[in-house]
Structure 1
């Protein structure tokens, strides 16, 4: 195996584990990113053999494998290149809230990075998760678990300061589209109507 093959194998190994990000402050990740740009054609060719493609956004600094649309009978014969992760309700809710914030940030802010912090996330999610819950500590634990999950998946990046700030990574754009947000918000609306047993036009006291 020559050097080029070794380098491509290293990139493939990283991408099979999840999204790859450009991180100049991380020598290992920075090297993998540069190798990806160098061998991206070979990486695309390799993953295409398994019914996938490489989604690479150089401007935003992220890359990931995606599965192409193929007939179901063909898909069953191909190996799984993307690990399917089922998110629980609090984590899905956090993803949607962050995605909406990202939309607003990209539309109106001149800052390149959207920042959030643990306290703000707790404040936003608590309003949704407190319904029917009397154990506040349990709610806090569920929110912390969701934050940690998104950090582990690369959708949030800790900025390593005492305020527990996070960067909301723009790869979130490729995971959640407007249709998903609308469908989720409709489910939230239906849940609220069921929970409070009120007519849609009836104002809550």
Structure 2
């Protein structure tokens, strides 16, 4: 049997497509599908391209996901299969702060897993959110924002340690190096935005 044909007949092919359509496929979580994805990635790319999607695969970081492919000049635009997400100001801010922390972590630590606590995130977040006398309300809202970041797949809540989170490395793809290069200015913008909100609820 031709090895390439055997690869194409893999029972994991459909499972890979379904997993990617549902979200991010991680090497550490999808230990059975990951090797098959590496083997079948050319076929997966060709199939997804027909749907207007692009396979983003980072073998070094161990994740893969689909994003909407840019429409070429003269090409008819296809309906979006990957929806755009409108993120709130606090959620965007958390992602920015986590991305900076991940960049610093990568230059200083030998470990590949960055774990942060709820308190650490809250401490950074307080610097940019409007002042409020009701600390409990702010922290309650922060938990809502953290839950959204977990839902988006950028944080993973550690089992048995509800106040500890692993920062998922796919955040590096979402907030790229070019975006991070303007980080200081963006933080100033966020701080100004937070001040402008005054006592309004974030």
Query: What range is the shorter-chain TM-score in?
Result: 0.7 to 0.9
Q: Does the CA contact (< 8 Å) of 2:128 and 2:194 recur in 1?
A: no
Q: Does the CA contact (< 8 Å) of 2:24 and 2:63 recur in 1?
A: yes
Cα distance, 1:85–1:166 mapped onto 2, change above 3 Å: same
Offset at residue 128 of structure 1 (A):
2.1
The aligned runs of 1:54-93 (5 Å cut-off) are: 54-71=55-72, 74=75, 77-93=77-93
Distance in 2 (alpha carbons) for counterparts of 1:142 and 1:4:
49
Q: Which moved more, 1:155-164 or 1:92-101?
A: 155-164
Query: What SS class does the counterpart of residue 34 from structure 1 fall into?
Result: helix
Aligned residues, how many? Answer: 189
Deviations 1:106-153 (A, max 9, x none): 112222211101121122212322x24333222112211222122222
Structure 1 stretches (4+) deviating beyond 6 angstroms? none
Q: Does the CA contact (< 8 Å) of 2:128 and 2:191 recur in 1?
A: no
Q: Does the CA contact (< 8 Å) of 1:53 and 1:68 recur in 2?
A: yes
Distance in 1 (alpha carbons) for counterparts of 2:171 and 2:147:
15
Q: Which residue is 2:140 aligned to?
A: 141
Alignment partner of 1:41 is 2:42:
yes
Q: Which residue is 1:100 aligned to?
A: 100
Q: Does the CA contact (< 8 Å) of 2:25 and 2:63 recur in 1?
A: yes
The aligned runs of 1:1-205 (5 Å cut-off) are: 4=9, 6-23=11-28, 26=29, 29-71=30-72, 74=75, 77-129=77-129, 131-162=130-161, 164-181=163-180, 182=182, 184-191=186-193
| Structure 2 residues not aligned, in runs of 5+ | 1-5
Distance in 2 (alpha carbons) for counterparts of 1:193 and 1:127:
10
Deviations 1:57-81 (A, max 9, x none): 1121100112232258846x31323
What do you get for the CA RMSD once the two structures are aligned?
2.7
Query: What SS class does the counterpart of residue 128 from structure 2 fall into?
Result: helix
| Structure 1 residues not aligned, in runs of 5+ | 197-205
Distance in 1 (alpha carbons) for counterparts of 2:143 and 2:196:
27
Q: Which moved more, 1:174-183 or 1:145-154?
A: 174-183
Q: Which residue is 2:3 aligned to?
A: none
Cα distance, 1:119–1:179 mapped onto 2, change above 3 Å: same
Q: Does the CA contact (< 8 Å) of 1:117 and 1:166 recur in 2?
A: yes
Distance in 2 (alpha carbons) for counterparts of 1:193 and 1:139:
15
Deviations 1:21-79 (A, max 9, x none): 112xx5xx22232332232111101111123221111121100112232258846x313
Distance in 1 (alpha carbons) for counterparts of 2:190 and 2:78:
36
